[in-house]
Amino acid sequence: MSESRWQPVLQSIEAGDFAAAVAALDRTLEAAPLDSEGLMLRAVAKAAQERVADAEADLWRALAIAPAAPGPRAALGDLFVRDLTEPPAQRDFSLGSGERQTSPNLGEIREDHRSRYEFAALWLRDALAPAHRTTGIDLFCGNGYGSRILADLAGCRMVGVDGSADAVTLAETAYGGHRVVFRQAYFPFALTERALDFAVCFESIEHVEDCDGYLATVDAAVRGPILLSFPIETTLPFDINADLFRYHTRHFTISEMEEKLARICKRRIAAIRGQVVYALKNRRLNGYVPPQQMALTAVKPDSQFAVVVACRA
């Protein structure tokens, strides 16, 4: 960005005169509507005025013009995610930690992970009208493959968030685009209230200490559905498998999650699917089932994971 070109606007923003900055940028963009730098600066000024929806619109337009521009990509993350927490130094956030899928090629992502996002994308495509005008957040997105599946299959815009800087760097390179951006943030963090159309929270709630606070944070940020996955305690008992789920804090029964969603979020489960991922021996993990057996199904007695869509009651 040429600071000399934008010096009067930057001075207005630094002085807190956001109305003057927006007015000047309105004039610039009327003459040059494809100026991505002008759109980004106007979005920054609008965000400071708490005009979140208007700021978001300008930033997505800027990315449509210049998809790789780092400024609008970072600004979209800042628009929705704030009050960041410093990641713990003792935690391994590297791609080699074993906590995340790491392939930059979608076909190499394990089937159970892909099938959850494919279910979510098709549900959102049918439920949101029109889906291409919606923006969702993909929390604990890992290397970003799921955010890209949602954008490609449902047509929505996506902001992926993960605690690993390495994963976010890979996500931006492998799965980012003009409708998919990524932001590094370690929970707990705050999300802008009622700014998003939906949230996808796969493989996340079992990783946080304050699961009630996590649900409350997500619920406050979204106007529409929350899509959530969790390991089922009755078939994947945490105490027996804690050493094999070293990044998990607990597992849940379906009734426990139903109660939490009702009590904390005033939401009901509108759709639910089950999934089997692991072979078990004496209730302990003993490898994976074949990929073709990892597809989502109706919930069954042997389901090890649940994927739910939670809508406001």
| CATH number of the domain that residue 187 is part of | 3.40.50.150
Q: Clarify whether residues 175 and 72 are in a common domain.
A: no
Q: What whole-number percentage of the chain has pLDDT above 70?
A: 99
Q: Clarify whether residues 123 and 210 are in a common domain.
A: yes
pTM (whole model) above 0.85: yes
Residue 96 lies in a domain: no
What per-residue confidence (pLDDT) applies to 129?
81
What per-residue confidence (pLDDT) applies to 187?
97
Q: Clarify whether residues 266 and 117 are in a common domain.
A: yes
Q: Clarify whether residues 250 and 161 are in a common domain.
A: yes
What per-residue confidence (pLDDT) applies to 4?
80
Q: Clarify whether residues 29 and 66 are in a common domain.
A: yes
Q: Clarify whether residues 64 and 113 are in a common domain.
A: no
Answer with the one of 18, 50, 82 that is the final residue of a domain.
82
Q: Clarify whether residues 16 and 137 are in a common domain.
A: no
Cα–Cα distance measured from residue 4 to residue 21, given in angstroms and rounded to the nearest whole number? 15
Contacts of 267 (CB under 8 A, 6+ apart): 219, 226, 261, 310, 311, 312, 313
Q: Let me know: does 241 contact 270? Beta carbons within 8 Å.
A: no
203: its two tokens = 């493989």
Measured CA to CA in angstroms, residue 124 lies from 56, 162, 270 at distances of 20, 22, 12
What per-residue confidence (pLDDT) applies to 1?
64
Q: Let me know: does 286 contact 280? Beta carbons within 8 Å.
A: yes
Kind plus residue range of the DSSP H or E element containing 237: none
Q: Let me know: does 272 contact 254? Beta carbons within 8 Å.
A: yes
Residue 92 lies in a domain: no
Q: Clarify whether residues 115 and 13 are in a common domain.
A: no
147: its two tokens = 């955010």
Q: Clarify whether residues 110 and 64 are in a common domain.
A: no
| CATH code (residue 42) | 1.25.40.10
What per-residue confidence (pLDDT) applies to 239?
97
Cα–Cα distance measured from residue 138 to residue 159, given in angstroms and rounded to the nearest whole number? 6
Q: Clarify whether residues 71 and 110 are in a common domain.
A: no
Cα–Cα distance measured from residue 199 to residue 192, given in angstroms and rounded to the nearest whole number? 12
Measured CA to CA in angstroms, residue 249 lies from 22, 113, 167, 207 at distances of 46, 20, 21, 6
Cα–Cα distance measured from residue 227 to residue 309, given in angstroms and rounded to the nearest whole number? 5
What per-residue confidence (pLDDT) applies to 93?
85
Residue 97 lies in a domain: no
What per-residue confidence (pLDDT) applies to 96?
80
Residue 1 lies in a domain: no
- The segments of the chain whose pLDDT lies below 50 read none
* Domains contained in the chain, number: 2
Per the structure, the complete domain to which residue 279 belongs is given by 106-312
Measured CA to CA in angstroms, residue 70 lies from 16, 25, 40, 175 at distances of 24, 20, 10, 15
Q: Clarify whether residues 120 and 256 are in a common domain.
A: yes
Residue 179 lies in a domain: yes
Residue 144 lies in a domain: yes
